[in-house]
Structure formats: structure tokens, C-alpha cells
Structure 1
Amino acid sequence: MESFERARLDAYFAKIASQFAPTEWPTSFLVTHLLAERPGFVRAVAAMSRLRALLPKPKSINTTAQREIEQMIPCDTLSRELFTNAETALDYFEARAAGEPVILLDVGGYFAPTLAEVHSRFSGQLLGVVEDTENGHRRYADLDKLPCPVVSVARSPLKDPEDFLVGQSVVFSTEAVMRGRGDILHGRPALVIGFGKLGSSIARLLHAKGVQVTVHDIDPVRRTQALSQGFAVARDREGALRAAGLVLCATGALSLHGEDFPHLRNGAYVATVTSSEDELELSSLPDVYTRTMVGDHVTRYQTTGHYFYLANGGNAVNFLHGASVGPFIFLIQAEILAGIRMLTRTDLAPGLHEANADDRAAIAATWLSYFNR
């Protein structure tokens, strides 16, 4: 990032921080994709809270950004296991923030499994969670009873530009991986699993590139939307897998089970928009498949009479090329900062919440004044 770009970004976040200054000064823990532009957002979180630790998602760490962050705050190792055991989670928070009011800034529902235990047993006060993703939103929504407020930005209209552009970056990276092996998109019918904001963006760009696209979604409403936009809709999931030369998984949940992989067409490519642990049940893939690296970020799975290719180990393919969506990411990051203020007011009941329309409009107006140039 050029110096003038960094100065503009810091000025933007300073403005957001002044607009949404919290009523109390909370402690925070931040889970995030540590991409090249992320230090500006991290500095903004640290300007609005006592940021005790950054927990970067392990498959998306820019080493230059990490070195910069480590000069400011600790970067701890993130794993699902860290917060799936109540004792481990409590030990972590007690070591970092005993007796303090804490806000958890999450990407993907990492804190959900032990949220109730941490809320009831932590020596401080768990004020709540801000969640960034649809997958994480679902993890919190699936809990029997939320013990504290969870502010979700996953379905915010300010996230729509990011979701659209992420879909475009997924197609770019998938094509780049294929071309690295001498393959191309054209001539390969594509199956897009999931027709939400990301999946629909992927389908539209593939169609614009002249690729034949079929959509599969468990939601009948989304299937009608896909049909209305000119896409074929799979009637038979197994048949759709057998016909596709490219399968793009965009559900934010489990797209392919172990028994699905043998139905893939020989030589098909599989790519995803999120981590392999969320989209693919690779652990249940039959043991008869051997795994061989056959190119940069391409693994061939092969058994007698059958083979397919997996991009980036099943993790988000667009992270191979930085996953950049430009300054549009700063819209939803600002709403996350607004979520910090919402939780410090302590007037939210336990349950899922969203920012209000006035706050979103204020964020958009501020963003336009800095980036619409």
C-alpha cells in the first residue's frame, strides 16, 4: 500500500472511530483474514478498544502484514480446537483479559461452541460478539439460546459489494489455477453449488465468459431465482456432479460429502469460496484415493478409473491471489466498528442483532467522501 493510500485509509477509519466512539472502553479479541490491507482495520479496532490479541485465520496470512501487526499487539495461533473446549477457551481469555469487559470480533463462528460457558464462567464480562460471515451467522443462530448479544454484519447491504467482488475473484483465481496446468474454463460445463450472494456472482461471471452454468441450491426460492436469471438448475445432484467439468462450492456450509466425490466427472476441478473444513468433507473421502500435487496449488485425487483435481487444498481459491476486493472491504469493516459501540451500550438483549439503517447510511456517506474520487 502506497503511503498516501495508507494515510487516506487511516483518516477514513479515524473518522469512523469518531462517529462510533464507544460509550465505554472495552477489551477486544479479533479474528480476521490477515490480508495485505488489514493492518489499517486492526489499528482502527485498537483505537476503539483494548485489543488484547489478533487471531489470524491460518490459511490467509500475509507475512508482511503479520510482521507489522506484531509490533503493535500479540498475534496468537487460531484453531477451531482452541474454542471448542470450554476449559481451553476460558484459560485463554483469563490469561489475556481476566476481569475485563470483553467483545469478540469473529469471522466464521469460532467462539460459538463454548460461548455459553465462557459467558457464565469468565471472571470478566462478555459483552457480546460481532460476526462477519454468513457461515458464522448460522453457527450462532443454531445455538439453542444465545447468552449475550451477537451483532451480525453478514447480511448487511454494506457487505453486498464485497460479496459480489469476492465471487469475481474466485472465478479469476480458479481460471488462473487451471491455466497453470494448461487447462481453460471453456468447454467445461460448470456446476455452482449455492446461489447466495457469492454463488450468484460466480455464476454470472462464468456465464459472461461463455461457460455453460448449472446451479444447485437446497433452497427452492434460490432455485427459482437462478432460473429467472437464465441458469440451468440441477434436478438431480448426482447427475449434475457427473456432468460438470468444474465444481465451485459457495454455500458457506458443507457442499460436498465424502460420498459425493466419486460422482465427479473424470478430470473435473473443484474449488471453494471458504475453508475446506466448512465446504468439503475430505476426511470422509474413500481411502482408496491417492493424493498427488500436480501443479501449483493443484492436488490430483486418483483411484482406479477415477480422478479429479482440487484447487488450493480445498481452501478458498481466491486467497491464492490476495482475495482483494479493493476499498469496498472498508465498508463492512466500518460496520464491525459500529458493532463495538452497539455492544458497549449494554442495552441489547441476548440474541442476534444488526446495525440500523441510519448507521449504515452514515458509514456509506463517509466511505464515499474518501474513496469515490
Structure 2
Amino acid sequence: MTTRHDVADPELAGSGSERIDWAARAMPVLAQVGERFAATRPLAGLAVAACMHVTAETANLVRVLCAGGASVSLAASNPLSTQDDTAAALVAEGVAVFARRGVDRDGYYAHIAAALDAGSAAGGPHLVLDDGCDLVTTLHTARTDLIPAVRGGTEGTTTGVIRLRQMARDNRLRVPMVAVNDTGTRRMFDNRYGTGQSTLDAIMRVTNLLLAGRTLVVAGFGPCGQGVAERARGMGAHVLVTEIDANAALQATMEGFTVVPMAEAAARGDVFVTATGNRDVLRAEHFAVMRDGVVLANAGHFDVEIDVRALAAGATARRSVREQVEEFTQPDGRRLLLLASGRVVNLAAAEGHPAAVMDMSFAGQALTLAWLADGAGLEPGVHVVPADIDSEVAALKLASLGVRLDEPSPEQVAYRSSWEQGS
């Protein structure tokens, strides 16, 4: 099957299919959803436009959506996260994919526009999936003509949900968007366990650094930062946390981490990981006091958390020393090492979250799209995933792991539903 596309090399489809099939082995929950979708076809006749990381795990989600009857167009949500062989494999399966690893900014937005155009050719897009809100903002700025056809969509990142809430606050959001990132299963599995493991994997993969005995600074103690801090401590690192939120800082303190301002941490750290969803977390005054050889990595969605322009402006020399590692020599001879150009390191310098993590996230996303397609009747704005969908995903995951739960007795059910019984 042929389709409009823009990928690096269609001849990579064979290796891409093998990569997708390998990831599928660790995605039993999504596979169960796929079987249900193939039987019920909840997305029949609908066009889905997606802006997501083009990885093997995402490809398995796309396969499920297609099994459910959707026509899918896909653009990358990060220029360095695209797996070119995965993109080629999806094209061979009839998906309109617009993604090349390393594409520049203009190409990135051209791909988003192309994914929207592919959806419009099918009378839509009727549903949208976004990671970071770039597709939705494009829809609300350059492609407002497509909005009437959109029934709703999902957003899968913390950064994207923040942007959506800002759009809603400014009365600019004209379609219902569901914050799948905010579900309990997503925050626990995707953000905490997924980001924690995959971020450290990326750092060690490109630097071959021993973390034991090093001081690792985590900026931001949300679910992603928590995962990084926990895994780093488990590998023997001394972990410092920086925060601007009192509750998060208190949680970090009570979990045994040392919380300090970044002005202090900058002079003490060996490895820095930003996970805040905000910009300029590491900037010129911090670079000025850092030790020779420090490693700078970003685990946030966009490449704004580390002020790369200031880093480059203050350097006397800049060179690549390893794949995905750039060295910035300071006037006094200190060398600061930036990973993956400041982009989200676990995807740009490694393979992202393990497939077992994305299994739950994408199962919930697929079920939420089916709910939207069935006529959820939502008003424009940011909405939560129905609790029964999140619970179903958790139950399916436990079943796949062979975990069984207790069942409450009739007396316990009655007790929980009554206010009359006390001590």
C-alpha cells in the first residue's frame, strides 16, 4: 500500500517492522485493546492526526488505531526522537508518516502541517493525539479551518497539558482535549518509572559514566524528577534536588533527598538533569560556577530547560567529543558537556521508555480516543480521563503480570457504602 509520506529511507521498512514487533512482545495490554478494536471497530471512518515520538512503541499504538478503523497520519513531536526504520515500516503499512530524524525547525512544522493535511483529505482530522501541544497550537493558529471537524483529542505530556490549560485560561482552546498524562497509571508508570530508567540509560549510554559516588542534581521533583532521583540514588549517586514548589520540596526532603537552590547545586554537581517543564533552569550564572567535566542533560519535553544559547555564547570553543555529546570550553579552561543538544535525552540519545511502560500509556490513550469517538459530548477545554478507563488499564496490566486482587466481602461493601456504621 502506498501513501503520501516524508521519511528518510523507505528501504528501512524491514528492520523497522522487526523493531516494532520486538516492542510488541512487552505490550500485552495494548495487544488486548487491539483485539477488541479489531472486533468492534470503534474508530471506523475517522481520521486521526498525531504528533508523537516516532518510535516502535508509538507504532504499536498506530497499529491498534488502524485495527479500530482509523486512518492515521503521524508527525514527530521531537526532531531527534524519530526512529527512521520505524517510520519506514509504518509507511509500508499504509500510514501517512512525516518524520525524519534530525529535521530542522522548518521541516518539523512542515511535517505537522502535512499530518493535518492528510487528516483533512479524509474529511478530518476527527481526532488528534499530541505530545507537547505543537499540533494543537498549529491547529489553533495556522489551520483554524480544520477545527470544526475535530471531535477532540488527547495530550500525553506534562508540558503539553500545561500549554493546553494556558490556552483554556485565555479562551483560545476550541476543542475538547483529554489530559491522558494526568492519569494515575500514566504518572506512575510513564513519568516516574519510564523517565527514571530511560534518562539514566541515555546518560550512561552516551558517556559511559559511573554514577556511583557522583553528585547528581535533579531540577524538579514532579513524577519525572522523582523517577530520576530514585534511580540515581539506587545506582549509588549522591542526589541533590532543586525545586520552586514547597510541597514538592517537602516531599523530596521527607524521602531523604537534599534540597538546595540551583545557585548552590551548580557548584556541587557532577551530573545535572532538568525535569521541570519550564525554561532557563540552567543558565549563564550556573555555568560560571560548575566544575570541569560536568554533564548537562534535559529530561523535559522541549529544549528550553538548559539555556544552550548562553552556554554557547560563554564558551571559547565548542566541539563534538562523542555521539550526542558536545563539549563547551569555558574561558578558564573548564569543559561542560551537553547531551543531545539539550533535547529530551532519553529519546534523543537512547530509545525512550521501555515498551512495558508505554504499554499502559498507549492502552489508555487508545481507549480514551474510542470514548471520544463514541460521542463523549465534551465542551472545549481540558478534561480528565474517565476513572473507569484508568482502572481498566491498571487491571489489564495486573492480569498480564499474573497479579490477583482480593474481592471485598458483602459486609465490606455494605460498610463502605454506609454512614451509619462506626466503631
Give the alignment's TM-score, normalised by structure 1.
0.86
Aligned equivalent of 1:66, options 87, 108, 115:
87
CA contact (8 A) 1:276 1:313 kept: no
Q: Determine the C-alpha separation between the residues in 1 that align with 2:239 and 2:32.
A: 40
Could you give the per-residue CA deviations for residues 195-232 of structure 1, whole angstroms, max 9, x where no partner exists?
01111111112222222111001111100001000111
Q: Deviations over 1:268-296 (max 9, x none)?
A: 11112145524222124352412111223
8 Å CA contact 1:25, 1:50 repeated in 2:
yes
Indicate which of 116, 120, 137 corresponds to 1:97.
120
**Other-structure match for 1:312:** 340
Residue 340 (structure 1) aligns with: 369
Q: CA deviation at 1:89?
A: 7.2
Q: Equivalent residues in 2 for 1:67-216 (5 A)?
A: 67-71=88-92, 72-77=94-99, 93-94=116-117, 96-98=119-121, 99-100=123-124, 102-117=126-141, 120-122=144-146, 125-143=149-167, 144-145=170-171, 146-159=173-186, 160-163=188-191, 164-179=193-208, 183-216=209-242
Q: CA deviation at 1:316?
A: 2.7
Q: Which amino acid aligns with 2:197?
A: Q
Structure 1 CA distance, aligned partners of 2:206 and 2:383?
39
Helix, strand or coil at the partner of 2:205: helix
Q: Higher strand share goes to which structure?
A: 1
Paired residue type of 2:82: I
Evaluate the alpha carbon distance shift between residue 11 and residue 29 of structure 1 in structure 2; reply closer, same or farther with a 3 A threshold. Answer: same
Determine if contact 1:126/1:148 at 8 Å carries over to the other structure: yes
- TM-aligned CA distance change 1:338 to 1:270, over 3 Å: same
Aligned to 1:221: 247
Q: CA deviation at 1:123?
A: 7.5
Among 246, 260, 267, which residue is 1:242 paired with? Answer: 267
Contact persistence 2:159–2:301 (CA under 8 A): no
**Residues 172/232 of structure 1: CA separation in 2 closer, same or farther (3 Å cut):** same
Runs of 4+ in 1 over 6 A off after TM superposition: 82-85, 88-92
How much does 1:65 deviate?
A: 1.6
Structure 2 CA distance for aligned equivalents of residues 326 and 316 of structure 1:
18
Instruction: Point out the more displaced range, 168-177 or 240-249.
Output: 168-177
Residue aligning to 2:320 = 293
SS at match of 2:336: strand
| 1:62-113 superposed Cα distances (whole Å, 9 cap, x missing partner) | 233222101121211487657979xx97786356415435211001111243
Correspondence for 2:70? 50
The alignment status of 1:265 with 2:291, answered yes or no, reads yes
Listed as ranges, the gaps of 5+ residues in structure 2 are 1-20, 404-423
In the alignment of these two chains, the number of paired residues is: 367
Tell me the CA shift for residue 367 of structure 1.
3.4
Aligned residue type for 1:310: L
Letter of the 2:248 counterpart = R
SS, match of residue 37 in structure 1: helix
State the match for 1:283 in structure 2. Answer: 309
Q: 1:336 to 1:58 in 2, by over 3 A?
A: same
Aligned-partner Cα distance in 2 for 1:314–1:91:
26
Cα distance, 1:51 vs structure 2:
2.6
Which digits, 9 at most, give the CA deviation of each residue in 1:300-328, with x for residues without a partner? 11121132111222223323332242323
SS in 1 for 2:277: coil
Question: Please, what TM-score do these two structures have when normalized by structure 2?
Answer: 0.77
| CA deviations over 1:311-368 (Å, ceiling 9, x no partner) | 2222233233322423231111011112212332151011111111112222222334
Structure 1, gaps ≥5 residues long: none
- The residue type paired with residue 316 of structure 1 is V
CA contact (8 A) 1:167 1:199 kept: yes
Q: Any conservation in 2 of the 1:35–1:65 contact (CA below 8 Å)?
A: yes
Equivalent-residue separation in structure 2 for 1:210 and 1:90 (angstroms): 46
Residue in structure 2 matched with residue 302 of structure 1 by the alignment: 329
Structure 1 residues 341, 258: closer, same or farther in 2, change over 3 A? farther
How far apart are residue 41 of structure 1 and its match?
Answer: 1.2
Q: Mark the CA change 1:75 to 1:371 in structure 2 (over 3 Å): closer, same or farther.
A: farther
What is the SS of the residue equivalent to 2:150?
A: strand
| Alignment pair present for 1:362 and 2:382 | no
Q: 1:37 to 1:120 in 2, by over 3 A?
A: closer
Report if aligned partners of 2:49, 2:115 keep a CA contact under 8 Å in 1.
Answer: no
